[in-house]
Structure 1
Amino acid sequence: MTVAIVTDSTAYLTEDESSKLNIEVVPIPVIIDGTMYQEGVDLKRESFYERLAQAENFPTTSQPAVGDWLTLFERLKQEGYDEALVINLSSTISGAGQTVAGLASEIPDFKVHAYDSKLTVRIMGQLVLKAAEMAQQGASVAEITETLDALRETIDEYFVVDDLQNLSRGGRLSNASALVGTMLKVKPILTFDPNTNYIVPFEKVRSMKKALARTEQLFEAAITDVDYPIHAIVIYSNNETQAEKWMAELQARFPEVHFELSYFGPVIGTHLGAGSLALGWMRDPNSI
């Protein structure tokens, strides 16, 4: 059985990665002042944050159209694939995975499997890359998802946002949390709740410097006793220089960890806003 690997644009893969590993990337729409854009197609990170600052209304995100999914699956079938494993961003952020699951029996003689990554951005991207490598080696969907489940159990992440207003307006946090964050001028540290998988406030720190230092403490505590190599990712919105500086400091402090730099594209940037930074980590996918 040949397995196609599909993901959405919030995995933030490079074109070289998706091309080399035959990964299908479905763009997620972003609506800015009534105009719909496709993330990664006609709306890139470099221009998005300028548009975000100039937008008259708060941007919103949508789902890929059902017809687009069906067209993709039909094409994959015609290309000789028997199955598609679709790795989507967390179901607590988007309903795209649920939509895919509902289409599982729509294409005759072609199986569709929806996999909830329970996260997003480049951390999800690492799961997608691992899945694609395994698929190219002939692994089954069951074997791939078993590996993804094992990797997903090792993942943790903390986001430091400059302002909670975007998350509040997008419905990801309560208005009360946004109000407190604005009044006290704090830099909230957020994470995915391990039980509900919703984005929740973890701590509120009085400056970005202190918030990043606290995130480093959490990272150090989490990786101290693990018996496997760690792959970590520093993620930024429109503050690349600050992210590069932080990653250099982290690499000097934790030389045994492999770090990479990634970004919040338009879909996730819509909710986190400008000035956000994050640190995510997992077991190195190459070690499993």
Structure 2
Amino acid sequence: MAKIVIVTDSTAYLPAEVTEKENITVVPLSVVFGNEAYEEETELSAADFYDKLKQTEELPTTSQPPLGKFVDTFEKLAKDYEEIITIHLSSSISGTYQTALTAGEQIEGVQVYGFDSEISCMPQGYYVIEAARMARDGETVDTILDRLEDMKQSTRAYFMVDNLNHLHRGGRLTGAQALVGSLLQIKPILHFENKQIVPFEKVRTEKKALNRVFQLFDEDAKKESSIRATVIHANRPDKAEAIKEQLSEKYPHAVIDVSYFGAVIGTHLGEGSLGIGWCKM
């Protein structure tokens, strides 16, 4: 019997070829339009989500996986594995992590270990990929979790939104802040701090916001001989590719890729958002 398997949720937005190659199990969150719920990535792709968003007046909501989804997933995996490491988006923005832990306590025949990424999207995916690689190489649970905690010290992510209304609705900005911010064309740079999404700095334009994030990346990239970064976009693939090329040219020692804000995270940030995440390899 194989020893360790890795589980994550859909907000890591890992490509299907990666989850298949690395034997990663993904439990989807859902986005809700009116009375219709769709599991992101499986029932609603990111592209379809943004198309649908343009056609609706009422903004969608999101939903974490039900407890039974995790129980079923863990029970199936228990037939072939002895231990499960389940890695999820920040526990302060979703109850997914706690639900996974609760499900793990109900399963017999397999030990479930949780890891709170304290972040989301591809930076969360970096933990998942590393854990899967180490599991394949025969490392122990303790060694894998120690490595993930070590990665956490160098993991950064900064992002900016195109429309402040989504942040206002999600409770991140008051109505007055959103109105004034929109009038002044303020582009807040956001990041994760203590597991929560909070403002990092407020700037006037997207260009200035991106330049500030580039500056933050430069500070880390100069110190590390090996660093991995991802440009994250909400339905702006051309812009993301342009940023990737710019970073790749300036930092040839860095591995730069492009990822995206899918339906669930896109619901909260809105179309047009951009982000850059990175960690020491």
TM-score of the aligned structures, taking structure 2 as reference length? 0.95
**CA offsets 1:173-203 (integer angstroms, 9 cap, x no match):** 444542332121111111112xx22111112
- Equivalent residue in structure 2 for 1:264, among 245, 261, 264: 261
Which residue does the alignment assign to 2:241? 244
DSSP-derived class of the 2:229 partner: strand
Which residue does the alignment assign to 1:17? 18
DSSP-derived class of the 1:143 partner: helix
- Equivalent residue in structure 2 for 1:222, among 220, 223, 228: 220
CA contact (8 A) 1:12 1:122 kept: yes
**CA offsets 1:218-243 (integer angstroms, 9 cap, x no match):** 211233334x4111111111111111
Residue 117 (structure 1) aligned with residue 114 (structure 2): no
Distance 1:172 1:95, change over 3 A: farther
Which residue does the alignment assign to 2:272? 275
**In the TM superposition, what are the counterparts of 1:192-211 in structure 2 within 5 Å?**
192-193=192-193, 196-211=194-209
**In the TM superposition, what are the counterparts of 1:23-62 in structure 2 within 5 Å?**
23-62=24-63
CA contact (8 A) 1:60 1:170 kept: no
Distance 1:6 1:220, change over 3 A: same
**CA offsets 1:141-197 (integer angstroms, 9 cap, x no match):** 11111011111110111101112211221234444542332121111111112xx22
Deviation at 1:29, TM superposition (A): 0.8
Instruction: Give the Cα–Cα distance (whole angstroms) in 1 for the partners of residues 18 and 217 of structure 2.
Output: 28
Instruction: Give the Cα–Cα distance (whole angstroms) in 1 for the partners of residues 25 and 178 of structure 2.
Output: 36
Which residue does the alignment assign to 2:4? 3
Q: After the TM superposition, which of the residue ranges 246-255 and 67-76 deviates more from structure 2?
A: 246-255
Instruction: Give the Cα–Cα distance (whole angstroms) in 2 for the partners of residues 136 and 177 of structure 1.
Output: 48
**In the TM superposition, what are the counterparts of 1:170-181 in structure 2 within 5 Å?**
170-181=170-181
Unpaired runs of 5+ residues, structure 1, are none
**In the TM superposition, what are the counterparts of 1:107-186 in structure 2 within 5 Å?**
107-186=107-186
Q: After the TM superposition, which of the residue ranges 247-256 and 126-135 deviates more from structure 2?
A: 247-256
Q: Which aligned runs of 4 or more in structure 1 are off by greater than 6 angstroms?
A: none
Query: For the aligned residues, what is the CA RMSD?
Result: 1.5
Q: After the TM superposition, which of the residue ranges 173-182 and 105-114 deviates more from structure 2?
A: 173-182
DSSP-derived class of the 2:157 partner: strand
CA contact (8 A) 1:190 1:201 kept: yes
Instruction: Give the Cα–Cα distance (whole angstroms) in 1 for the partners of residues 126 and 12 of structure 2.
Output: 8
Distance 1:172 1:3, change over 3 A: farther
Instruction: Give the Cα–Cα distance (whole angstroms) in 1 for the partners of residues 138 and 174 of structure 2.
Output: 45
How many equivalent pairs are there?
A: 280
DSSP-derived class of the 1:114 partner: strand
TM-score of the aligned structures, taking structure 1 as reference length? 0.93
Instruction: Give the Cα–Cα distance (whole angstroms) in 2 for the partners of residues 225 and 283 of structure 1.
Output: 10
Query: Residue type of the partner of 1:188?
Result: P
DSSP-derived class of the 1:2 partner: strand
Which residue does the alignment assign to 1:63? 64
**CA offsets 1:24-77 (integer angstroms, 9 cap, x no match):** 001111101221000111100111112112223121111111111111111111
CA contact (8 A) 2:221 2:251 kept: no
Which residue does the alignment assign to 2:74? 73
Query: Residue type of the partner of 2:25?
Result: E
DSSP-derived class of the 2:171 partner: coil
Deviation at 1:126, TM superposition (A): 1.2
Unpaired runs of 5+ residues, structure 2, are none
Deviation at 1:102, TM superposition (A): 1.8
**CA offsets 1:64-120 (integer angstroms, 9 cap, x no match):** 111111111111112x21121100001111111011122232112221111100111
